[in-house]
Amino acid sequence: MRPPAAYGGYWTALAQRDLSEYNELRFNLRTEGPVPPMEFGIRNIEGKEAKTFIAPYAQAPGEDGWREVRVPLLALNGLENLTSPPLDVLFVAVSNAYRSGKATVWVDDIRFEHTVCAKVKVADFELPSAGSASHSTYQNGAAAISASLMLDAAAEAEADNTVCRISYGGTIGRDFGMQGGFSYCAWQHNLNGIDAREFKHLTLRIRGEKGGETPNIYLIDCVKRIPVRAKEMPAISRNWQKIELPLAHYAEQGIDLSHLDAVSIVFEWNEQSGTVYVDDIELRM
């Protein structure tokens, strides 16, 4: 995997199998050490792929060295549904782009199942695919915003934990009229049409550089965007905290939970500037 464009893997035909009755892929995995940066994915007959990294869904190894991997199909990033167009290939892939390196792994007993799914990871920012392809920033008027992935600098942080830094400022909250527009800015993470109806909360970890930051958090479907206001959430501090956003709040105001397009952290209405750090966005029961 040393050449820049190197990639490889294993694939098997799905022969246009209908997966609508299943919500989880399971298989057994044995490695010589930690789970390397490997992706599991599905490709349809048009060549479009949905994929996610294996490591977040791998359980601890047993005494025989084998570990079970349970990947919710909702976690696959790239296809709006898994029924149309028909599915062609299931694959496990490694590449230089994801620093797969050199390793030997054993894979066994691949199967699709229907189980109760307690959570789906939206983003943990630990690998390159959690970068620019999945999230973006935008602004209006004279607001400014930037975002990048970085090692967590919090005092209690694990040495290799990566988080998303979002810095914002300018003249947020000021209205420059019809030509200049109202000033606001936002960071947005794609949800790719995920069906969240079986879940109760969207959760994320967040901390502020100074504390007291006041973003509003929106869910967006193909038609509407609805917020939970900062005043409706716990106050942001300089320490990491988990915020639980009730999906019922969004649904009651018209968001279609069966097809979510994005989650957006928006800085608006009041003059403000600062930095927040975000990690571990998940859908949970």
Triad 165, 168, 170: Cα angle to 5°: 160
Q: Which of 91, 116, 141 is the last residue of a domain?
A: 116
Stretch 192-211: mean pLDDT, rounded? 91
The amino acid at residue 39 is E
Is residue 109 located within the same domain as residue 199? Answer: no
Instruction: Decide if 122 contacts 281 (C-beta within 8 A).
Output: yes
* Enclosing domain of residue 138: 122-284
Q: Which of 116, 142, 177 is the last residue of a domain?
A: 116
Is residue 179 located within the same domain as residue 71? Answer: no
What would you report as the CA-atom Rg of the chain, rounded to the nearest whole angstrom? 20
Determine, yes or no, domain membership for 112: yes
Is residue 57 located within the same domain as residue 71? Answer: yes
Domain count, the chain: 2
Is residue 136 located within the same domain as residue 246? Answer: yes
Is residue 215 located within the same domain as residue 112? Answer: no
Is residue 112 located within the same domain as residue 129? Answer: no
130 pLDDT band (50/70/90 cuts)? Answer: very low
Is residue 95 located within the same domain as residue 137? Answer: no
Is residue 157 located within the same domain as residue 264? Answer: yes
Give the pLDDT score at 132: 40
Give the pLDDT score at 191: 84
Flag whether pLDDT at 23 surpasses 70: yes
Distances (CA, A) of 215 to 81, 99, 124, 131, 243: 31, 34, 20, 21, 12
Flag whether pLDDT at 77 surpasses 70: no
pLDDT per residue as tens digits for the range 54-74: 888 899 999 999 999 998 887
78 pLDDT band (50/70/90 cuts)? Answer: low
State the chain's mean pLDDT as an integer.
89
**Percent of residues, the chain, with pLDDT higher than 90:** 55
Give the pLDDT score at 131: 39
Determine, yes or no, domain membership for 2: no
Stretch 150-171: mean pLDDT, rounded? 86
Give the pLDDT score at 127: 62
Give the pLDDT score at 160: 79
pTM score, two decimals? 0.71
- The span from the CA of 285 to the CA of 272, in Å, is 34
Determine, yes or no, domain membership for 1: no
pLDDT per residue as tens digits for the range 165-191: 999 999 999 998 877 789 999 999 988
pLDDT per residue as tens digits for the range 222-277: 899 999 999 999 999 999 999 999 999 999 999 999 888 899 999 999 999 999 99
Determine, yes or no, domain membership for 166: yes
100 pLDDT band (50/70/90 cuts)? Answer: confident
Flag whether pLDDT at 24 surpasses 90: no
- The span from the CA of 137 to the CA of 131, in Å, is 12
**CATH code for the domain of 32:** 2.60.120.430
Flag whether pLDDT at 101 surpasses 90: no
Give the pLDDT score at 192: 76
Is residue 107 located within the same domain as residue 128? Answer: no
128 pLDDT band (50/70/90 cuts)? Answer: low
Give the pLDDT score at 229: 97
Give the pLDDT score at 76: 79
The amino acid at residue 165 is R
Q: What b/e readout covers 182-221, taking b as 16+ CB neighbours within 10 angstroms? A: bbbbbbbbbbbebbbeebebbbbbbbbeeeebbbbbbbbb
Is residue 91 located within the same domain as residue 129? Answer: no
Higher pLDDT, 77 or 18: 18
- The span from the CA of 224 to the CA of 153, in Å, is 36
Task: For the chain, give the DSSP string.
Answer: --STT-EEEEEEE-TT---TT--EEEEEEEESSSPPS-EEEEEETTS-EEEEESGGGBPPP-TTSEEEEEEEGGG-BS-S-SSSSPEEEEEEEEEGGGT--S--EEEEEEEEE-----EEEEE---SGGGSTTTEEEEEETTEEEEEEEEE--STT--TT-EEEEEEEEESTT-B-HHHH-B-EEEEEEEEEEE--TT-SEEEEEEEESSS----EEEEE-SS-EEEE-GGGSPPP-SS-EEEEEEHHHHHHTT--TTSEEEEEEEE-SS---EEEEEEEEEEE-
